[in-house]
């Protein structure tokens, strides 16, 4: 039943993502306030069933703050962008703490991080003249985005999924900033930004669930790494 529940919630998440992406050019407030954060609700429902207690709370926090940021950004009031940035800073903090629980530092991934850092610095260099009064909030947000990506690079298993999710999050943020401050909210760029964002959240949730899937019937047994399980009890390996 748990497997079917997971498939249903993930399917609903994908469907709601597609609905918003296809409809976003034709809808406005208040419909966007309902449709835009809906995929995150289904990802929250998926995570509540597919993550063990040690990580469930952190992922719930990350997704909840993301949900709040998505909803607030659609509201027509002056401080919506600032509140959205604050919400996603809190989401980044939760993701950082989550990744640290399942991370192991590896020097060989530093070169990848340096390339990512250079890309981010170049993007910020392009954006800086256009930021105006948002320079400080964007700089603060970037200071939290960088360690989130660094920690994502060092998760112990399913690293490609989590890393790709973090990179898509980065490119989503860059696309959003370019569209917000340079291209004046172009509709097609907005669709691209949301596609990258939804894909990022989907991969981060999926990657961490594969790493920390919770099996209640084994909850009384001491936890082992996947390598220990594979070598000691091959019959329990679920692939």
Beta-bridged to residue 103, according to DSSP, are 155
Question: How many domains is the chain built from?
Answer: 1
Crossing angle of the two packed helices 53-73 and 80-101, in degrees rounded to 10: 160
Residue 226 lies in a domain: no
Residue 135 lies in a domain: yes
Residue 225 lies in a domain: no
The per-residue pLDDT for range 21-51, each reduced to its tens digit, is: 999 989 999 999 999 999 999 999 999 887 7
C-alpha span between 175 and 189 (Å, rounded): 7
Q: Which two tokens stand for residue 180?
A: 């917000």
- Give the range of the structural domain holding residue 37, as residue numbers without chain letter: 2-213
- Left (φ > 0), alpha (ψ -120 to 50) or beta: where does 31 sit? alpha
What pTM was estimated for this model as a whole? 0.84
Instruction: Give the dihedral sign, CA 35/203/98/212.
Output: positive
The per-residue pLDDT for range 110-158, each reduced to its tens digit, is: 889 999 999 999 999 999 999 999 999 999 999 999 999 999 999 887 7
Residues 6+ apart with CB under 8 A from 142: 120, 124
Give the count of beta carbons closer than 10 Å to the beta carbon of residue 53: 9
Where does the pLDDT of residue 2 fall: very low under 50, low under 70, confident under 90, or very high at 90 and above?
A: low
Q: Which two tokens stand for residue 213?
A: 């899937």
Instruction: Give the dihedral sign, CA 120/32/68/162.
Output: negative
C-alpha span between 172 and 200 (Å, rounded): 8
C-alpha span between 34 and 114 (Å, rounded): 38
Residue 21 lies in a domain: yes
Cβ atoms of residues 153 and 159 within 8 Å: yes
At 103 the three-state DSSP class reads strand
Residue 237 lies in a domain: no
Residue 128 lies in a domain: yes
């Amino acid at each position: 039943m748990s497997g079917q529940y997971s498939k249903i919630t993930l399917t609903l998440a994908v469907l709601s993502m597609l609905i918003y992406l296809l409809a976003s050019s034709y809808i406005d407030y208040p419909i966007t306030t309902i449709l835009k954060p809906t995929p995150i609700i289904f990802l929250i429902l998926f995570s509540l069933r597919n993550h063990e207690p040690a990580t469930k709370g952190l992922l719930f926090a990350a997704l909840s703050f993301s949900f709040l940021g998505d909803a607030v950004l659609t509201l027509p009031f002056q401080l919506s962008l600032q509140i959205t940035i604050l919400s996603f800073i809190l989401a980044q903090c939760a993701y950082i703490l989550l990744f640290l629980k399942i991370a192991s530092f590896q020097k060989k991934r530093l070169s990848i991080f340096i390339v990512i850092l250079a890309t981010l610095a170049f993007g910020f260099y392009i954006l800086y003249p256009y930021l105006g009064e948002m320079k400080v909030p964007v700089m603060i947000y970037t200071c939290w985005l960088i360690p989130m990506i660094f920690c994502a690079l060092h998760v112990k298993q399913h690293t490609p999924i989590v890393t790709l999710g973090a990179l898509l999050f980065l490119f989503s943020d860059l696309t959003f900033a370019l569209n917000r401050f340079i291209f004046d909210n172009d509709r097609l760029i907005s669709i691209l930004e949301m596609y990258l964002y939804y894909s990022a959240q989907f991969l981060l949730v999926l990657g961490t669930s594969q790493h920390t899937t919770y099996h209640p019937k084994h909850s009384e047994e001491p936890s082992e790494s996947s390598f220990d399980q594979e070598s000691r009890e091959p019959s329990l390996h679920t692939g």
